[in-house]
Amino acid sequence: MSNSRGPISQPGDLDGLKIRVVGSPLFQDTFSALGADPTQMSWTDAQPALTTGAVDGQENPLSVFDVARIDQVGQEHLTLWNYMNDPLIFAVNQQVWQTLSEEQQTLLRETAVEAGEWEIAMTREEEGERLAAIQERGVTVTELSDEQYQAFVDATQSVYEKWAPRIGEEVVEAAQAAIDAR
């Protein structure tokens, strides 16, 4: 998450900040629980809003921050808090899937898993380089201690309690196991 106001190292630092979020109720609830004013807007609208100060900050992965050069629109502070993992989803229309042979289905499943593993490895490999490049451009990066991270977890517990049953406990547990295994 980046912003133009100052370092974010505890949930209270977000009080009243207008943060651009994607159009997901989960993101809205997360930032509301932290005291921010989540503002849903497209990426097309976000860059001008960041430039003019209509919003104070935004959330995106490091790759987007780096490639889009968010530091050029006043985002001088970046907090690494790893609050969200973006899943890679491979989906096929059921009618199309049924037209494929079992061999084709197996090949597509294996290829999708392989592509996902490649994406994860590439992202993790490039993360350090991206972060260094961002810091070289003068962005202040805040990395949370375990205690600071836990404060964010505690502050968003209500979001977890609301969304875990909707998403499904099995999915949430599988995601947590994958995160813990990292």
Q: What confidence tens digit (pLDDT) does each residue in 83-109 have?
A: 877 677 889 999 999 999 999 999 999
pLDDT for position 114? 94
- Separation of alpha carbons 94 and 102, rounded Å: 14
Token pair, residue 39, equals 């503002």
> Is the pLDDT higher at 122 or at 2?
2
Question: What would the two tokens of residue 8 be?
Answer: 């974010």
Identify which of 102, 120, 13, 112 has the alpha carbon closest to the alpha carbon of residue 57: 13
Query: How many other β-carbons are positioned within 10 Å of the β-carbon of residue 156?
Result: 19
**CA 12 – CA 42 distance, rounded (Å):** 26
What integer is the mean pLDDT of 50-73?
92
- Bridge-based pairing of strands 18-21 and 37-40 is parallel
What does the pLDDT read at residue 180?
Answer: 79
Give pLDDT, residue 119: 86
In the chain the domains, ranked by start, together with CATH numbers, are 2-86+129-181 (3.40.190.170)
State the pLDDT confidence band at 174, using cuts at 50, 70 and 90: confident
Mean pLDDT for the chain?
Answer: 92
177 band by pLDDT with thresholds 50, 70 and 90: confident
